[in-house]
A and B are shown apart, each in its own frame.
Chain A
Amino acid sequence: MNVHDWALITFTILVQMSVGSMWVLGAVHFFSARKYGMEEADRMSDRALLAIVPVIALGFLASLLHLGDPFNAPRAVTNITNSWLSREIFFGVVFAGLAVVFAFMQWRKLGSFGQRNVVAWLSALAGLVLVLSMSMVYMLPSQPAWNSWNTPISFFTTTFLLGVMAMGAALVANFVYEKRKNTGKTTNQLEILRATLRWISIAAIVLLGIHLIALPLYMVTLAAGSKAGLATVQLLAGSFGWYLGLRVAFLVIGAGVFAMFLYRYALSAGEEKTLSTLAYAAFVMVLAAEVLGRFMFYAAHVRIGI
Chain B
Amino acid sequence: MAKQKAFYFDASACIGCKACQIACKDKHDLPLGVRWRRVFEYGGGSWVEQNGVKVPSSLFSSYLSTACQHCESPVCRDVCPVQAITKREDGIVILDSEKCIGCRYCEWACPYSAPQFNEETKAMTKCHFCYDLQAQGLNPACVDACVMRCLDYGELDELRAKYGDLNEIEPLPTNEITNPALVITPHKHSQKSGEGTGRILNLEEEV
Contact = CB atoms under 8 A, between A and B. Distances in A.
A72 B102 CA distance: 9
A76 B124 CA distance: 15
A84 B82 CA distance: 12
Interface in A78-95: 78-79, 82-86, 89
Contact of A68 (B100, B110, B173): B100
A239 B2 CA distance: 48
Given A76-B82, A141-B75, A227-B194, 12 more contacts: A67-B102, A68-B122, A68-B123, A70-B101, A78-B83, A79-B83, A83-B79, A83-B105, A84-B79, A85-B103, A141-B177, A304-B177
Given A76-B81, A86-B81, A142 B123 contact: no
10 contacts: A68-B124, A69-B101, A72-B82, A75-B99, A78-B82, A83-B78, A137-B105, A305-B172, A306-B112, A306-B171
Interface string A35-79: 000000000000000000000000000000011111011011111
Interface residues of B, number: 35
A75 B102 CA distance: 12
Contacts, number: 98
B104 interface: yes
Contacts of B123: 68-69
Contacts of A66: 103-104
B181 interface: no
A55 B124 CA distance: 30
Given A67-B103, A68-B122, A304-B177, A79 B82 contact: yes
A4 interface: yes
Contacts of A303: 108, 111
